Structure 1
């Protein structure tokens, strides 16, 4: 037979049944198994298989599995790239374009490029562009409407102010033709009240704010008007106005509040300084918590000489304070004079 050499692999002692040998240049692996078919019979069965009979198939299977794995890996990378290139990237480009888009601004070029595609992303981009056009049209119409309303509101307030000024001028002319001093005083008081209302519309026209009116400038203008309108022979009175810069009231509260200040200051100018050449009136307006606080004080003769409670001005103040859902309180400070405090909710 053919010559061969047998080995025990890692040693016969470790695994006496294992067989490994080379025959005609080819390696064989096998097992040696003792077998006893009957009493007195001791056989040894030797089974050997050429290593190439199964190792080639294993190497072929490994190569086939590697090729399949590489193919699926390449396919997964390709699918991922396609998803990023044709889905994720266009959506991100569109989102970036939408984030920086402003009303009236042209659609970004990258979004326009997406709209030229013949796929779902392209249809989505075209729909977005169409929606953007409709929104721009609506926004433009809304801006035009708001601008028109702004012009109309300014014109309304301007005309109301002019009409009140005309009424005030008519009262002034009529007052000049009267000989009765009490009648003249009544006309002058009416004129002051009309001026206080006209100043609201003038401030609205000047600032362009139709929701709230800054009280600092408004109350200062009222007091300036009252100072200018004083008779030359009357007591020279300094009117100090202190208003929080942030104090602002809605128009339906600003008008009655201004009229209250007008009445209280006029009342102080008329009654607080009899026989005096100099006097001082202080107007303070501020917010304290959920309440607005208005204070008008003077250093005149005090409450007894300043408030009768039966005059038209006093009745008007009470009605205006009630309109503001507020309260009014009169006090005589220790240093003399009168202080009137009005509080009403914000």
Structure 2
């Protein structure tokens, strides 16, 4: 059991003594067994050997105990062990507490470094190494890895003009001339610009008076410096302004006495004006009143009393809600709420009041709000005008407008009938010319009759478009030109695939009758000439018609073909044909200008004002 105990407790001191005691116990027990054994079997030599071994172990153990006793006595007692354990547990708790405080302090320091808007630096003077906080590097635009911990990194970033000042300030602090190191200077940023900083620090000296460490921070004061510079400029400007203002005040002071006299005169005039205002208030031709925020009549003039049929005393016992017609009250209150909320400054509505005799009077009400200097509503000013007669006149005017509308409708029907009959009459004339041409044998005369018939048809087409137009005074000229050119192509039996027609007319151009007829005849003449002469012997080509507004109030009419063109000696003013004379006369009728270009084919440009 002692051997088992020693094996399980390797920390027990003097473990060998336990093994010797175990050997001694076994030897003693064996000696007693042998004494019993020799009663029957006389093995005395074996018994004596065992006793000799037992004696040897017993003496050896006793000798060892002699040297072991002082060491055993030196072992702490259970009370001492308990006290030692208590002190040890106390030290362990203190150490844990200290470690916890250190961890919290470290966390606060790290949070302070991360959260502080200032850059932190820690300079080990002996090793010349500097710790720069992330904010210090960030303030200058650098990443964490872009700046080393060498002091030169900081010195080389100081503006050359500020290095001497910074060096002297540090030296004064190291020499204890100044209690703190503090300096304002410029530092080079990553982007090449300089930033103003406020640099502060505190040195740490050893027992020999040598500086071993210096810790500090720097703050970005660029905005403050800019503000100071702006303020400096502003102060200079203010000084100039003060000088100018002093001169002005001198002049103002000289005129104060005159102004005082003038003010006294104005005050007298104001008193007279107030008296006139009171007289005007009570004698005004319209009703005027001061109305409280709750709707109470505070001050009324005589005209308002005449309009609603109450005396001033009776009216001041009522509110405006009491005498407002029920159907008009909600609208009136909505305006009141809007003016109180500041959404509007004043409002004017037509409303009905209930007179004292229960009759209804129509009024035009204009209301504005008077406020206290603090902005709180004080009272309303209401101007009430009797418009009963105006309402009757409005009803009469409405009936007159209805009669005018009926008359206008009749005239519209009549004008459409006129357009229709003119168109029919022109078609009759065209038919007569067609019948007459059947009795004419001369080819040239027949052609003249056909041209006249086509011109009449172009005018009839305008009257037809006028008849169909929603606006009886103007037509959509684009539709008219398309129908006119299609009719001409049919008359001259031109193949649509041989001659391409390009019509480009701005949709918003609407022409009246006096402008549409000359324009239509001009287009008729120019397109007819192109169809007859520009493409001989079945030649293919293109005819373009363009009408657009080039400037406000001025129209460009452009008719162009890419045919054989005009003769080289062609002179428009010397041509005696009826067609050319019509174009010239119609352009003059439109007060237009003609420009002819025959570089490729023939191009007529006519500009004229819109009538």
Q: Smaller-chain TM-score range?
A: 0.5 to 0.7
Pairwise CA distance, 1:138: 0.7
Contact 1:286 1:292 in 2 (8 A): yes
Residues 1:217 and 2:479 are matched in the alignment: yes
Greater relative contact order, per chain length (Cα 8 Å cut-off, separation 6+): 1
Deviations 1:205-251 (A, max 9, x none): 00132322221111112111111211369994333211001112222
Map Cα deviations across residues 262-288 of structure 1 (whole Å, 9 max, x no partner).
000011111111223433211111110
- For 1:330-341, list aligned pairs within 5 A: 330-333=596-599, 336-341=600-605
Match of 2:101 in 1: none
- C-alpha distance in 1 between matches for 2:584 and 2:318: 80
Alpha-carbon offset, residue 139 of structure 1 = 1.6
Between the aligned partners of 1:326 and 1:268, the Cα distance in structure 2 is 22
Cα 1:138/1:300, change in 2 over 3 Å? same
1:342 aligned to 2:583? no
Ranges in structure 2 where 5+ consecutive residues have no aligned partner: 1-293, 299-314, 334-349, 364-385
Are positions 1:304 and 2:545 aligned together? no
How much does 1:199 deviate?
Answer: 1.2
SS in 2 for 1:304: coil
Q: Find the aligned partners of 1:119 and 1:304 in 2 and give their Cα distance.
A: 87
* In structure 1, C-alpha distance between the alignment counterparts of 2:597 and 2:295, rounded to whole Å: 93
Aligned to 1:155: 417
Q: Could you give the per-residue CA deviations for residues 24-49 of structure 1, whole angstroms, max 9, x where no partner exists?
A: xxxxxxxxxxxxxxxxxxxxxxxxxx
Aligned counterparts, 1:255-294, within 5 A = 255-290=517-552, 291-294=554-557
Q: 2:558 aligns with which of 268, 286, 295?
A: 295
2:352/2:361 contact within 8 Å kept? no
- Give the aligned partner of residue 227 of structure 1: 489
| Greater Cα radius of gyration, structure 1 or 2 | 2
The 3-state SS of whatever aligns with 2:503 is strand
User: For residues 313 and 87 of structure 1, do their structure 2 counterparts lie closer, same or farther at Cα, with a shift above 3 Å needed?
Assistant: same
Cα gap change, 1:76/1:174 in structure 2, threshold over 3 Å: closer, same or farther?
closer
Equivalent residue, structure 2, for 1:118: 359
Q: Deviations over 1:146-186 (max 9, x none)?
A: 00100110000110000001111111222233222111111
- Any residues of structure 2 matched to 1:1-346 within 5 Å, and which? 79=316, 81-87=318-324, 117-118=358-359, 120-121=361-362, 127=389, 130-231=392-493, 236-290=498-552, 291-304=554-567, 309-333=575-599, 336-346=600-610
Q: Report the TM-score when normalising by structure 1.
A: 0.65
After TM superposition, the score normalised by the length of structure 2 is: 0.38
Q: Counterparts of 1:342 and 1:234 in 2: how far apart (Å)?
A: 26
Report the CA distance between 1:88 and its aligned residue: 8.6
Offset at 1:321?
A: 0.4
1:74 deviation in Å?
12
Q: Secondary structure at the match of 2:582?
A: helix
Structure 1 residues 255 and 232: CA distance shift in structure 2, 3 A: closer
State the Cα RMSD in Å. 3.6
Please give the alpha-carbon distance, in whole angstroms, between the structure 1 residues aligned to 2:531 and 2:497.
8
Q: What SS is found at the alignment partner of 1:285? A: strand
Residue 32 of structure 2: aligned partner: none
Cα distance in 2 between the residues matched to 1:163 and 1:315: 26
Shift of 1:81: 5.0
Cα distance change of structure 1 residues 85 and 246 upon mapping to structure 2, 3 Å threshold: same
CA distance in 1 between partners of 2:530 and 2:469 (Å)? 30
- Secondary structure of the residue that 1:301 maps to in structure 2? coil
Q: Secondary structure, in 3 states, of the residue corresponding to 1:286?
A: strand
How many residues end up aligned between the 2 structures?
259
Flag the 1:279–1:76 CA change in 2: closer, same or farther, 3 A.
closer
Q: CA deviation at 1:127?
A: 4.5
